[in-house]
Structure 1
Amino acid sequence: MIAHLKGRLDATGIDYAVIDVGGVGYMVGASSRTLAAIGPVGDACTLHTEMLVAEDFIRLVGFARIDERDWFRLLTGVQGVGARVALAILSAFEPVDLSRAIASQDKAMVARANGVGPKLAERIVRELKDKVGALGVVAGAASMPAPSGAGADAVSAMLNLGFRPAEAANAVALAEEELGTGATLDALVRLALRKAAR
């Protein structure tokens, strides 16, 4: 699985970016917010990624921030929400605004995103109501710095092991605090797993 891409922004389109990593161009689907955040063509950039695999395609979706990727995973877990609709929702709302809308069960707000009708908006707010707190956005994770580098990869590894986003982020933050900034991915994940088990 590809967790992130670090390279030069080679090109952008309406819903994608091409990142040149060592001479290989990766086409990555992206929300309009991510495309606006990664900077001008020719600049260095990093995208956190999610790899979508089906019988007839393999596709990368990229995010400027980890919380956007976490929201993408939550949204695509709702029946009827595919990658395109999830990206439309993330183009329409900042993660913190989306979190508030779901926490307050504001179906009308969610329905403002392209491709989201009233029934789908209702399903999204209903199914994600109990999961929104797991992202920690409402309660004040905005004040916590987002992990980067090995920390971001460690959070991704924890999510792939089935931990909720808030649990993963907290465990990795504790591990980073104990091990210091130069910790390897392997060491971070091992310690984060121990921290999460307490």
Structure 2
Amino acid sequence: MIGKLKGIVDSTGEDWVVVDVGGVGYHVTCSRRTLQNLAAPGGAVTLSIETKVSDDAIRLIGFETDNERDWFRLLLGVQGVGTRVALGVLGTLAPDDLARAIALDDKKAISAAPGVGAKVAARITAELKDKAPEGASLATILDAPVDGVAAPASPAPMRDAVSALVNLGYPQAQATSAVSAAAKTLEGAASTEQLIRQGLKELAR
């Protein structure tokens, strides 16, 4: 199996790039975001690779980072999500943005991806809610803007609330999601105690 390709961009198309590695051209399917960030033909490129093997072909799927490739694998585990839809999601949302959308149950952000309807977006948020923060740091999710308004630096109440829920036995991913949703519901500068109470309500749903 090929796990990584390092070479020169030979040519690109709507959803693919040919990577020249020592004179051998590898045809790699990529998301729109990954293609946009590639160097021009002749430039150096390194791609993390997911190898898909079928009865009649071996297909290489390329990603800018290992993190993006890991998200691709998670997405493929969701019912109704195939390669095309997963690449569409990752072409619309960067991994950290996808993690935040799942943590906040933001189906609208996910359904903005081509080929993703309301039902598929709902399945993605539901099936990955306990896995999403594994692809991004806790700080990334808690410090990210909410509805376009920047979050305060190092929001101690939110971090303390997550820690409290983890100490109660909830997985960190689930606790992070609950506190993020609680902060959105409460708005403004909520205290740790308020976030914990609202977070528990979110967890009970």
Report the TM-score when normalising by structure 1: 0.68
2:9–2:44 Cα contact (<8 Å) kept:
yes
% identity of equivalent residues = 54
| Residue type of the alignment partner of 1:81 | V
The 3 A distance-change label for structure 1 pair 138 and 115 is farther
Question: 1:26, 1:36 → 2: CA distance?
Answer: 18
Correspondences of 1:151-166 after superposition (within 5 Å): none
| Corresponding residue for residue 26 of structure 1 | 26
Report the TM-score when normalising by structure 2: 0.66
Correspondences of 1:114-153 after superposition (within 5 Å): 114-140=114-140
Q: What SS does structure 1 have at the residue aligned with 2:102?
A: helix
Unaligned ranges ≥5, structure 2: 142-205
Correspondences of 1:33-48 after superposition (within 5 Å): 33-48=33-48
| Corresponding residue for residue 59 of structure 1 | 59
Q: What SS does structure 1 have at the residue aligned with 2:41?
A: coil
1:17–1:28 Cα contact (<8 Å) kept:
yes
Question: 1:137, 1:95 → 2: CA distance?
Answer: 11
Is it true that 1:105 corresponds to 2:91 in the alignment?
A: no
Is it true that 1:71 corresponds to 2:58 in the alignment?
A: no
Question: 2:96, 2:138 → 1: CA distance?
Answer: 7
Q: Which has the larger radius of gyration?
A: 2
Q: RMSD value over aligned CA atoms?
A: 1.6
Question: 1:73, 1:17 → 2: CA distance?
Answer: 20
| Residue type of the alignment partner of 1:76 | L
Paired residue total: 142
User: What is the CA distance between 1:109 and its match in structure 2?
Assistant: 1.3
User: What is the CA distance between 1:139 and its match in structure 2?
Assistant: 3.3
| Corresponding residue for residue 89 of structure 1 | 89
